[in-house]
Each structure stands twice: as C-alpha cells, then as structure tokens.
C-alpha cells in the first residue's frame, strides 16, 4: 500500500468525528458514514492507480536508458551504484578492520540524499528487471 493510501484514513477520520458529533438521527449518521467510506475507498483506489503509473514510468525510463546508444547512458546507474556500494563496504566492512591497527583511517561520508538515491536506483533496477522478465515470458508464449 502506498504512503498516500495509508494516510487517507487519518485524513478522513476528522470528518467522521464531525459526523458523529452531528445532532441528527442514527440513520442519517450511518448514511453519512457510508458515503464517507465510499469516498475513502475511491481516493485510495485513485492513489494506487497513480502509484502504478509512476512505477510504470520509472520502469520505462530505466529500460530506455538500458537500451540507449551511448555506453555512459546505459551504465551510469550501475556505476553510481558501485560507487555507493564501495562507500558502504568501506564504512561498514573495511574501515572497522583497518581501524584496529590505524585508528585514524577515514570513513567516507555517505549523505542521506545519496543513500536515498541508492534506494531509488536499486528499486528502479528491480522494477526494470521484473518488467523485462515478464515481457520476455509474455513474448515466449
């Protein structure tokens, strides 16, 4: 479930509280709650559709890059991921061992934004590989 979809009930809840505090009949309150539940479901469905479109767009971008003419166009993501993996390996595998003998061995800075970029890059790779496998299975049938 997307982040937006999970937030929708929290956004709609205050409206439900207002409905509960109305001085109307129980039937009217139930009808309003039912309408509110339907609206909530529609918003969640729309947000999931938007998220699916976003994932499809991201996947198509990665696929277009992978099929590009330029070597750099095809390989910039894997190169960037290798740099980030090298930094992570240095900070969490290599550096602790070397610091036993050389306490001043430096740690490489990995800003939060770079970590986020790695997460997006890995996610894009996984989506594109999954789409590639699904499309090859469909073509094979």
Helix (H, G, I), strand (E, B) or coil at 123: helix
pLDDT: is 59 or 4 the higher one?
A: 59
Please give the model's pTM, rounded to 2 decimal places. Answer: 0.46
Lookup: tokens for 137? 């299975």
DSSP 8-state assignment for residue 106: P
Lookup: tokens for 51? 């998220």
pLDDT in tens, 92-123: 899 999 999 999 888 888 788 887 877 777 77
Domain boundaries, the chain: 1-54, 68-141
């Amino acid at each position: 479930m997307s982040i937006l979809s999970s937030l929708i009930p929290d956004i709609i809840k205050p409206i439900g509280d207002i409905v509960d505090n109305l001085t109307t009949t129980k039937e009217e309150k139930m009808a309003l709650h039912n309408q509110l539940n339907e609206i909530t479901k529609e918003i969640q469905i729309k947000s999931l559709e938007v998220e699916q479109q976003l994932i499809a767009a991201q996947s198509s971008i990665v696929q277009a890059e992978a099929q590009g003419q330029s070597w750099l166009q095809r390989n910039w993501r894997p190169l960037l991921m290798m740099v980030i993996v090298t930094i992570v390996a240095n900070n969490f595998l290599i550096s602790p061992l070397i610091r036993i003998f050389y306490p001043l061995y430096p740690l490489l800075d990995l800003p939060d934004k770079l970590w986020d970029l790695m997460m997006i890059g890995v996610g894009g790779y996984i989506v594109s590989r999954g789409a590639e496998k699904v499309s090859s299975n469909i073509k094979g049938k």
